[in-house]
């Protein structure tokens, strides 16, 4: 039976992040994707021009529809911009006994645009962290959740991960893409161990949707029966491939998307022009 993964997140009208990136990732990794929209964004590779929030009761109705019919193996949560939406999602997770919940605390877009209200951070920390099986913050997001400066090295990343565990998360995947150096190192922090996940840092400006993609890939792996560590390693490898192929796309005039279907689309020769 095909694994089913659910994304609860905002829509990116440019197609590179949010719901669209999550569904592409699920499909690329062999999972059936369902979705609950929390917000609509007018967005492209250059930035976010407008945000329209979905009413919280309609967010809850979408969750009831999906969980009431589909056997959801994992749930990835992305953009939740308002306290009322966070409360609605938390209530739905409890109501339906959601399994393998991956929380990507989306706060700032790649373009730098703020995606969450200030008063929503506290309720996200209080209501959702205790419900998530894996929290996947980047370094600025972890700093916002903890109210402290961003981690500057791997030791600090692990220490912040442990402090996030103390807030209720069952595990934390600290994403190191914002750090410097030839390697991009993520740190998976669990109750009983810490795992270093290194990868070669890829030089590309096409990084739109990287956080969404990694978290969705993690959820796809969990839905397919992988352990958390296996899913994290597979997600890291998938994102590396999508980043390495990102420059074969030519989407928009700003920070373009990663190539979600790099392993599925026909290969292109070195002299072929970029797609787009």
Residue matched to tokens 């998307």: 257
Structure tokens at 142: 């972890």
Neighbouring-strand partners of residue 52:
40
**Of 153, 25, 38, 14, nearest in space to 88 by CA:** 38
The answer to whether 121 and 144 are in contact (CB under 8 A) is: yes
Distance CA 264, CA 100 (A): 27
Distance CA 37, CA 59 (A): 7
Q: Please tell me what DSSP assigns to residue 56.
A: H
The answer to whether 190 and 206 are in contact (CB under 8 A) is: no
Catalytic residue annotation: 175, 207, 209-212
Over its C-alpha atoms, the chain yields an Rg (Å, rounded) of 17
Distance CA 33, CA 154 (A): 33
Structure tokens at 68: 């009431």
What's the CA angle centered on 22, arms 20 and 27, to 5 degrees?
95
Count CB neighbours of 49 within 10 A.
Answer: 11
Residue matched to tokens 């400006």: 205
Q: Which helix (H) or strand (E) holds 41?
A: strand 32-44
């Amino acid at each position: 039976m095909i694994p089913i993964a659910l994304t609860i997140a905002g829509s990116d009208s440019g197609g590179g992040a949010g719901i669209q990136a999550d569904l592409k990732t699920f499909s690329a990794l062999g999972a059936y994707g369902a979705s609950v929209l929390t917000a609509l964004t007018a967005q492209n590779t250059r930035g976010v021009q407008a945000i329209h929030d979905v009413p919280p009761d309609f967010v809850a109705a979408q969750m009831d529809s999906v969980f009431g019919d589909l056997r959801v193996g994992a749930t990835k949560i992305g953009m939740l911009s308002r306290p009322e939406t966070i409360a609605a999602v938390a209530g739905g997770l409890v109501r339906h006994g959601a399994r393998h919940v991956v929380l990507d605390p989306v706060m700032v877009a790649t373009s730098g645009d703020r995606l969450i209200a200030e008063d929503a951070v506290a309720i996200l920390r209080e209501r959702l962290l205790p419900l998530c099986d894996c929290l996947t913050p980047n370094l600025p997001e972890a700093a916002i959740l903890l109210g402290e400066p961003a981690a500057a090295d791997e030791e600090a990343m692990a220490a912040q991960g442990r402090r996030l565990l103390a807030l209720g998360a069952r595990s934390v995947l600290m994403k190191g893409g914002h750090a410097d150096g030839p390697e991009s190192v993520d740190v998976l922090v669990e109750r009983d161990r810490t795992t270093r996940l290194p990868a070669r840092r890829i030089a590309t400006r096409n990084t739109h949707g990287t956080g969404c993609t990694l978290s969705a890939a993690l959820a796809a792996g969990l839905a397919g029966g992988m352990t958390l560590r296996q899913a994290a390693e597979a997600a890291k490898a998938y994102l590396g491939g999508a980043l390495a192929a990102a420059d074969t796309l030519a989407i928009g005039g700003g920070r373009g998307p990663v190539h979600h279907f790099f392993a599925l689309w026909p290969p292109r020769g070195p002299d072929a022009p970029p797609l787009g």
